[in-house]
Every structure is written in C-alpha cells, then in structure tokens.
Structure 1
Amino acid sequence: MRGPILRRLYLSAKFPVARYSFARPFSTYPEPKKASSFWTLTFTLAIVGGGAWLQNRYFNPEDTITSQAQLPQKPSLGVIDTLATMPAEPAPGTVGNLTPEQEVKLKEFWVLTLKVFGLTLEELEAPQSTTTSDAATPAPAQDKKKPKSRWGIWGRADDDDTKSGSSSGTTASVASISITDGDDKYGQSKEFKQALEDMKPEEIRTAFWSMVKGDNPDSLLLRFLRARKWDTKKALVMLISTMRWRLLEMHVDDDIMFNGEASAVKMSQDSNPKEKKKGDDFLTQMRLGKSFLHGVDRAGRPICVVRVRLHKAGDQDNEGLERFTVYTIETARLLLASPVETATIIFDMTDFGMANMDYAPVKFMIKCFEANYPESLGAVLIHKAPWLFSSIWTVIKGWLDPVVAAKIHFTKNRQDLENFIHPSQIMKELEGDEDWEYKYVEVPENENPKMADKETRDTLMAERQKLAKEIQDTTIEWIRASFKNETDAASAAEEKRKNLIDQLRKHYWVLDPYVRARSLYDRLNIVQGGGKINFYPDSGKESESTSA
C-alpha cells in the first residue's frame, strides 16, 4: 500500500523534499537508531497521509470540474457586436430574464438610486410585496410606503425638504440606511455614509453614468441586487460605496483608463525616480504578460490568464499591482457581449514556488470581485496547483465569500480544461491546440489624438448626460405607471426607455476614444470600435463588421 501512495506523491505533487526523501529505497539509507527511526517513520507517514488527504480534499476533479455537457461545445468565432443581444438565453436575474418579483425589486432599487441623485420620489415608493418568492425577498417593515406627496416634474419634497429648499432631506432619508446584521465584510456602510458626505448628489449621479459606460444601466443595478440577494438597501450601500471607491480612491475613469498604457510610457521616461518606477512597473507587467485577456470559454465568457510564476513578491509595490489589476478588469468589461456578463480567470500555477506567493494582491483581487465588481466572475480555474499550494489555499479560502468560493475549480491537465474551454481555443502553453502566444505590442507615438480634443469630448459628455437625464425621466414614468397599474402607459414608457438605453450604449462607443486611452487589445484589433469585438482576429474566420 505504501508504494503506490509514495509514487503518487512523487509524480503528481512534484515537491522537492518528497523527491529527495522518496527517490531511493529505504534500505539504501544508513540504519538509524531505533527511536529516531520511529519518529522518522511517523513524520513520513504524517506527510504522506496529510498530502493524500489534501490532494483528495482540494484537487479532486470529481468535486471541482463542471460537467462538459452543461456548457456549449464551442462558441462562435468572428466579430461580435457587444451592443446586440446574442441568441443565448440570459441567465436568471439578468435583463430579459426577470421574475415579476425581481422586476419590482429593480424598480425599488431605481427609486433609491434616484433619491441619492437628489430627486424626491416618495410617490414612487413600491406597494408592499405580497410574494414569498425566494428570488426576491419581501421588503422589510421599515420599507412601508411613506405618505404620498403631490407629484411634480421631479416629484415634490416632504415639508422638511420644501422648507430647506434643497434635496438635503432626500439625501438624509437614504443616509440613514445601514447594514446592521453583520453582512458588511468590507465596511461599506461607513463608505456609503462617507460618500454622501463627501460627494454632492450631482457628482454621484455623474459618477454613476460614467460607471455604466457601454453597459445597460439595468444590468449594472441587477449585479448589485443579485450580490445582495435582492435586498435593495444593502445593494444601494454596495453601489454607492463602489462609486466612491472608483471616483475618490482608485480614480478608475479619470486616471487609470483615461491615461492607460501611453501614460505609463511617459512616466517610465520621467526624471523623477518615483514616477519612473510607477511607469516601469506597469509596463513590465504588460510586457511580461503576467496576466492577459485572450479568447472565450465554452459559455462565451472572456478569459483572463494569470501566469503566477511571473510574479515575484516585492518586484512591484502594492499601488502598481492594484492599478494593473483594475486596468485588466476594466478592459475585460469591454469584451462582454450580451447576454454574457461574467468572465473566466485561469490561474496558471505551472512552476509555482513560494517566491511567487504574495497575499496582498490576492486580498485586493478578492475585495475587487466581492465588493466593487459583483457578479463579474463566471469561473476561476486554478490550473496545475502543486502540493505545496494546499496550505496556501486553506488560508485563501477562508477569505472568500461562499458564493465566490463555489466558482473556483482546480484543473490538472488539458482534459480538465476542456470541460470549460474548447480544445481549439486552449493555447499551446496550456497544452491546447491553439497556436498562439502572448506578445506585447508597444505603444506607438500619438496613439490617442482624440483625447487632446477637449472641446469635442465636452460636447459628447453633455450629449451623454442629456441622454442619461431622459432615461431617468422615462424610468420615473415607467415605475409610476407600473405601480399604479396603468398597463398601457407602463408599456409605452418601457419601450421608450429601452430605445433610450440602446442610444446611450451606442453613444458610449462614440465617446470612448475621447475618454479611454487605447490599449493592447485595441492595437491587436480585438476591440474594434463601435462595440465590435473579435476575440480571435487572426483566426481567419472573421465576420463582416457592420458600422455602429
């Protein structure tokens, strides 16, 4: 019995200590003293037994691999229009696949969000839910409808609001929302209240529509609702704290995406050592291909590959790692084609050693997906994890929300990967059939000429804000008619609203070259402009691209 266990540990775990200790028969070692022999044998059995238990506990493909029959066999290649709805069935709880109870929750969430924007909409409070559906939890007692006030273009404030002559009363009403049941892992209640203090309602409104980008605003709100199990108040806390994080902490849109790789090149040439290091750190990660976006899995989800062996703790400071992480996530958002709303990450653990382990960026990445990019992960594949990763995984798993942890799968070889990705779209580096390898294309001079045209950018931004205002007005009409059971008016408002959202999404791609520096994926012709994406531009299977 001992022989097969030892051979398994030697062949599959590839642990250096194991190779040294078990490569030769026990008889070839000098004969130890009796007591020493006992403890040596005990320690050896503990390692072997523990290793076998951990191997089965964490790396058992029967427990961690999704059945191939559950996923499409091969997604179509060629140009995909991210603005068009694909023929696939939307996932439950997403746009196009909402239960009546979930649609009510979406409307309730819109009312709360618009209140944060400074609008007084007490008349739009939803009637008390009578459903017991698990998909949409009934509103708690404190959500009971407030006394109605007279309706105006933007609603009418309560008496206190009218006396103050401002929207401060409305802001105060939502500022009282907090999470009190312990479900606040990242302290978002505090950040939510801080956002309402630090940011004016109009700033929050502008930040929201900036965060929407080319997405459907309903899809964005639904991400937060699903993440908070359809609790509208918890979803609001999460949404507003995320906007504060984007705007005031990470500066996602006004710095990371606006300046992009071209700014990193300029920083790398700076005479200031600190600035130069920031630029060099960012470009080093891009040039190495420490992580990159390539292709799609069987469900049509964009794939991000993280080559863990290329990371060395201390090579870059945490700020640089966080900037690179957010840049990659935000770029991946551009590759989502409706109804796909999530991505797949492959952590390639080939040749992983303890020098590659760095807990700080792991914690930051977990926080990103749990707190700031909810419902963005489709699957996480930890590929070829060595035996020594078992103890590390025990620590990491303790940090994860159970919903996120359930999306993590361990894969050992090509066959395991094929359960998630078609073999023709697994690159050879991962033992697949696709003859592709990562190569960084350097930033050419004057790559972003439109970003210097501030006048056109301001004009386009004003047009976008006007469209956003029209969507808000129509959303109010839609909700008011729905809650009053005015079926025809609700249907008309819903259709008008859908057309406005389509216009907003198309308009983003007109604005895009004025607010986002070009990326590697633009230079590779993967992001083709106008909402057109080609995941495999060199496949020879390109479709005809139509204009936006």
Structure 2
Amino acid sequence: MSAAVSTYIPTVLPTEGRLGHLTPEQTETLKQFWAQLYDVFNGKTPIDQTVPSSFKGQAREVEGDDASAAPAAPAQKPGWFSRGKSASETSTAPAAPRFTGQDLQKAFWKLTMMDHPDVLVLKYIRARKWILADALKMFINCLKWRIVERMDELIQLSDQELDAKYPKFIEQMRMGKGYLRGADPHGRPMSVINTRFHFKGDQPAETIHRFTLHTMECGRMVVPEGTENVIVLFDLSDFGLQNMDWGFVRLFVQCFESYFP
C-alpha cells in the first residue's frame, strides 16, 4: 500500500522590498526617507498639527492631563484702548504646537525599541508603494497617533494599574477574548480573537479600546528578529449579532491600515 502524497505547499515569505533585498532605487528611497524624517525631527520641516483619528470619522479626545490638548480660549474682542493698534500688538502669543520635532523623535525611538530602524520604516514605505511623500506622511501620522493614544502607558503600566484606570481590563484577558499564543512555522506570533466572548455593553468602550491597542502592541513587541508580521486569527465559533461591534471593527481596520502596516 503506497503512502499518501502530501499536497501541502509551504508558504514562501516575500523578500522584495525587505532589508537585504533592496534594489539601488529602493535603497536611495530609504536614504531620502531618513533625511526627510530627521529634517522633521530637527525642526527644519514644519509639522502638520492635525490630530490623527483612531478610526475613520471619529477623532480621539485627549485626557485633561495633557495641557497641549486643552481647547483654545475664544478670541476676545479688542477693548476701547486697543483701538488704533495693529493686530500684532493686540494679539496674544501664539499657542504652543501640540507636536514638536523632539516629541516625534522620542515617540519614534520608543516605537523602535529593539527593532531594526530600517526594517520598521520600510513597512511604511512599502505600504505606500514606495511613494516617498506618502510614506513620510503615514509615518509621521503614526508617531502623532501614538502620542495622542498614550501608547507608552500600555507598555509601562502593569495589568493591575491598567485595570484600575480602565475598569474590567483584566477581565478581558481572563475570559480569553484576545490573547497571543504560539507561532506559525515561520515564527510569526499568532493572535487569537474569540468573538463569541465579546458583548459591546459588558465593558466600557474605553476599556475595549485600550485592550485592543494593548493586544496589538504586545503582538508587535514579541515579533522575533527576521520576522515582520503577526498572524491574527478570528475564531467565529458561535458568533452572533449580539457579538457584533462596529466600533471595534473600525478601530481594528484603521489601526492595521494606518498605524500597524
């Protein structure tokens, strides 16, 4: 009796546009990206102060402890004694920018951590089809988004501290709603999402928002050297309409589209 012939075809990871496999043109684009990025960090290039959104159509609000996020006071009409003076004499000092080059540079190195900087930025360049201006805009928006979303606290605070700040945070972990477990044959970490455990009204919206970002950030941090991706597995067993949460879906899609390429 002959043995069954396996039809399994092993996956071949792409190498085009990856570090160590760049063409001369791609290498030049990478060099130009770094030059323009440091022009932003050093204040030579003005920074768009627009706050990026967490998902399309809804901008995130920054907590009150961020002084730069406070709304600007309404402009006051000039008084009687200010008549005849120029606008420059009567106007107040311009508001400090929300994002500075130094802020973005700090956010960049906190994002990089143990990753190879070239490997990191090449993800954004490939995501924008090697169009330098689009890739730089995407990367700057990612850094601004990480500042607004306070991504540092998801790394620095313990689970207990996050649970105290965001009620039922640990409960999301204990019920197995989302977790990292194992890796595929190529060493890519696997993130499992059990949709049947999610009910929109069972926890505050901010808690599931932070838990989602925490899971994404943990997945990014455990990617081993030589691997650039995380496998996301949605378990739709026993999934029903009561488990559907469009806010979560929009957040998830927007993050992978714009901030975790």
CA distance in 2, matches of 1:68, 1:106: 37
Which is helix-richer, 1 or 2? 1
Tell me if 1:102 matches 2:23.
Answer: no
CA distance in 2, matches of 1:360, 1:186: 10
Shift of 1:347: 0.6
Preserved contact between residue 56 and residue 250 of structure 2 (Cα < 8 Å):
no
1:331 aligns with 2:218: yes
Contact 1:91–1:339 (Cα < 8 Å) also in 2: no
- Asked whether 1:237 is paired with 2:137, we answer yes
Contact between 1:186 and 1:371, CA under 8 Å: does it hold in 2? Answer: no
Matched, 1:342 2:229: yes
Find 2:112's aligned residue among 212, 224, 227.
212
**How big is the shift at 1:217?**
0.7
Instruction: Find out whether 1:115 has 2:39 as its counterpart.
Output: yes
Q: Any stretches of 5+ residues in structure 2 without a counterpart?
A: 1-6, 49-54, 58-68, 70-95
Residue 250 of structure 2 is matched in structure 1 by 363
Q: TM-score, normalised by structure 1?
A: 0.37
Q: Which residue of 2 aligns with 1:306?
A: 193
1:171 aligned partner, one-letter code: T
How far the C-alpha of 1:252 sits from its partner, in A, is 0.3
Alignment of 1:199 onto 2:99: yes
Deviation of 1:299 (Å): 2.5
Q: CA deviation at 1:317?
A: 2.4
- SS of 2:158's partner is helix
Cα distance, 1:330 vs structure 2: 0.9
The 1:366/1:300 distance shift into structure 2, 3 A limit, reads same
Give 5+ residue unaligned stretches, structure 1: 1-66, 73-88, 119-166, 176-184, 188-193, 268-274, 375-548
1:288, 1:300 → 2: CA distance? 26
Structure 1 moving runs of 4+ over 6 Å: none
Alignment of 1:59-138 (within 5 A): 68-71=8-11, 91-118=15-42
Bigger radius of gyration, 1 or 2? Answer: 1
The Cα shift of 1:302 comes to 0.7
Give the letter aligned to residue 368 of structure 1: C
Q: 1:212 to 1:236 in 2, by over 3 A?
A: same
Counterpart in 2 of 1:224? 124
CA distance in 2, matches of 1:332, 1:234: 26
Query: How many pairs were matched up?
Result: 213
Q: CA deviation at 1:205?
A: 1.2
| TM-fit CA distance, 1:200 | 1.9
For residues 118 and 158 of structure 2, the distance between their equivalents in structure 1, rounded to whole angstroms, comes to 28
Structure 1 pair 91/260, CA: closer, same or farther in 2 (3 Å)? farther
CA contact (8 A) 2:124 2:135 kept: yes
Q: TM-score, normalised by structure 2?
A: 0.75
Cα deviation digits, residues 330-367 of structure 1 (max 9, x gap): 11122211221001111111111111111110110001
Matches within 5 A, 1:493-504: none
DSSP 3-state at the match of 2:202: coil
Assess, with a 3 A threshold, how the Cα gap between structure 1 residues 68 and 343 changes in structure 2: closer, same or farther. farther
In structure 2, relative to structure 1, the CA distance for the partners of 1:260 and 1:368 (3 Å cut) is: farther
> RMSD of the TM alignment (CA)?
2.4
Per-residue deviation, 1:90: 6.7
Contact persistence 1:90–1:340 (CA under 8 A) = no
1:186: Cα distance to partner? 5.1
Determine the structure 2 residue equivalent to 1:259.
157
Q: CA deviation at 1:322?
A: 1.3
The aligned amino acid for 1:313 is: K
